[in-house]
């Protein structure tokens, strides 16, 4: 393995790493964090090979480790969470099938109709009664009766944590109930676990505790875990082999992908437990606003992980609100349903979150 002279890239890497944070307190998403120097070093030193030939040792290591953590037979590295979810839909369904999911689910709202485009399935969105978290009771009426003229309910996709609902976490018991309903109706279960790591920290359980109830699980390395690129789909060997074929069809076969997989592996090994810090920062941010503001409302019952949803009462131009915050050096993003969204991550400090919260209070009263 070639040794890597960190000093040569240090100045550039350091300025990359901090320029965003210097200028703005960037709470738009947990995807905005930059790889740390230690992560970059691991990436630079990664052993690589041609992953289209399944010869990249670092990709293989990442896939095996992810599968082991999730208690699945195999896993496949994918360029994005969207692709990992769509691979799951592709391997589980045939054209004309139906997928039940929550009405605010990422797969339904933010994947550019990919499920109908790529797998020719219909999505059946169900509104959850409790903070984006589906129950067996919510889902039961959406399951189709078996008749030749009806869609076939093939798959239930669950999102944990639930992004648009504000990072809410499924209690394991709820997942068990949903999976019993699914099994008794011969329905497959997929978990969109882009932020499963955050859910596990909140619920104090292992990823496998959740994954056991699902046929396939997608996870992301590039959100709270801080890797620059990538996700994985985990499940039975036979399905992952099939997913590999779809990934190639969709142009996702990557060559010396070990370079980026090394960042993901570093993230998986080093950045899971620290998510508790992101949750604490989100809580502090929300508390300062809740204590200090009359006009900005936060539903604290949704605040379980690193996403904070803010409602600014009497202020309908949210684009303007974002612009005003930006002038004060704070970047938030538009949430859904007339809300603003703040997401904490490993590139913002507690102090910055406190400052950002005070700016929100000062601006909107």
Ligand X SMILES: Cc1ncc(COP(=O)(O)O)c(C=O)c1O
Task: Give the nearer residue to ligand X in terms of CB position, either 192 or 215.
Answer: 192
Task: Give the nearer residue to ligand X in terms of CB position, either 30 or 359.
Answer: 30
Strands 307-312 and 296-297: antiparallel
Q: What DSSP state is assigned to residue 164? A: T
Q: What DSSP state is assigned to residue 303? A: -
d(CA 141, CA 114): 25
Stretch that binds ligand X, among 44-52, 76-84, 320-328, 341-349 (CB under 6 A): 76-84
d(CA 106, CA 160): 11
- CB-CB contact of 208 with 70 (8 Å): yes
> Which of 54, 73, 110, 32 has the alpha carbon at shortest distance from 343?
32
CA dihedral over 72, 76, 79, 80, signed as positive or negative: negative
Task: Give the nearer residue to ligand X in terms of CB position, either 222 or 271.
Answer: 222
Task: Give the nearer residue to ligand X in terms of CB position, either 102 or 352.
Answer: 102
**Inter-helix orientation angle 57-70/258-270, to 10°:** 30
Task: Give the nearer residue to ligand X in terms of CB position, either 261 or 296.
Answer: 261
- According to CB under 6 A, which residues from 271 to 310 bind ligand X? none
DSSP states along 188-211: EEEEEETTHHHHHHHHT--HHHHH
Q: Is 231 in the site for ligand X (CB under 6 A)?
A: yes
Q: Which residue is nearest to ligand X (CB)?
A: 81
From 25, 39, 76, 81, residue interacting with ligand X (rule: CB under 6 A):
81
For 225, counting Cβ atoms within 10 Å of its Cβ (0-12 exposed, 13-18 middle, 19+ buried), the class is buried
By CB under 6 A, how many residues form the interface with ligand X? Answer: 12
Q: Is 87 in the site for ligand X (CB under 6 A)?
A: no
Stretch that binds ligand X, among 78-86, 181-189, 268-276, 298-306 (CB under 6 A): 78-86
Two tokens at 358?
């005070």
- According to CB under 6 A, which residues from 106 to 125 bind ligand X? 106
Least distance to ligand X, CB of residue 53, Å: 25
Q: Is 312 in the site for ligand X (CB under 6 A)?
A: no
From 33, 163, 305, 344, residue interacting with ligand X (rule: CB under 6 A):
163
- According to CB under 6 A, which residues from 206 to 225 bind ligand X? 220, 222
Stretch that binds ligand X, among 35-43, 74-82, 171-179, 296-304 (CB under 6 A): 74-82
Helix (H) or strand (E) run with residue 102 in it: strand 97-102
- According to CB under 6 A, which residues from 11 to 70 bind ligand X? none
Least distance to ligand X, CB of residue 114, Å: 10
Q: Which residues bind ligand X (CB under 6 A)?
A: 80-82, 85, 106, 159, 163, 192, 194, 220, 222, 231
């Amino acid at each position: 393995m070639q040794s890597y002279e960190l000093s040569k890239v240090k100045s550039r890497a350091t300025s990359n790493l901090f320029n965003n944070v210097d200028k703005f307190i960037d709470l738009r998403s947990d995807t905005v964090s930059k790889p740390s120097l230690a992560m970059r070093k691991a990436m630079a030193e990664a052993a690589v090979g041609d992953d289209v030939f399944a010869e990249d040792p670092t990709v293989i290591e990442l896939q095996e480790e992810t599968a082991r953590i999730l208690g699945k037979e195999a896993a496949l590295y994918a360029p994005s969470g969207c692709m990992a979810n769509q691979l799951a839909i592709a391997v589980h369904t045939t054209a004309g099938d139906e997928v039940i999911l929550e009405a605010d689910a990422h797969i339904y709202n933010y994947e550019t109709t990919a499920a109908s485009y790529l797998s020719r399935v219909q999505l059946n969105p169900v509104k959850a009664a409790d903070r984006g978290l589906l129950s067996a009771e919510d889902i039961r009426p959406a399951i189709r009766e078996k008749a030749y003229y009806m869609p076939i309910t093939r798959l239930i996709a669950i999102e944990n944590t639930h992004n648009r609902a504000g990072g809410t976490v499924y209690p394991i018991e709820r997942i068990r109930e949903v999976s019993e309903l699914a099994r008794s109706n011969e329905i497959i279960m997929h978990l969109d676990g882009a932020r499963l790591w955050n859910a596990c920290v909140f619920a104090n359980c292992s990823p496998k505790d959740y994954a056991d109830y699902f046929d396939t699980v997608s996870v992301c390395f590039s959100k709270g875990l801080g890797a620059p690129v990538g996700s994985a789909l985990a499940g039975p060997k036979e399905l992952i082999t099939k997913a590999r074929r779809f990934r190639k069809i969709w142009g996702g076969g990557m060559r010396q992908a070990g370079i980026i997989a090394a960042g993901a592996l570093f993230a998986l090994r080093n950045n899971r437990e620290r998510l508790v810090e992101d949750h604490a920062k989100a809580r502090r941010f929300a508390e300062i606003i809740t204590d200090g503001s009359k006009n900005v409302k936060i539903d604290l019952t949704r605040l379980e992980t690193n996403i904070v949803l803010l409602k600014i009462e009497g202020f309908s131009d949210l684009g303007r609100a974002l612009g005003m915050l930006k002038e004060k050096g704070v970047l938030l993003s538009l949430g859904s349903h007339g809300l603003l969204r703040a997401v904490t991550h490993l590139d913002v400090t507690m102090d910055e979150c406190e400052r950002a919260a005070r700016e929100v209070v000062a601006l909107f009263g």
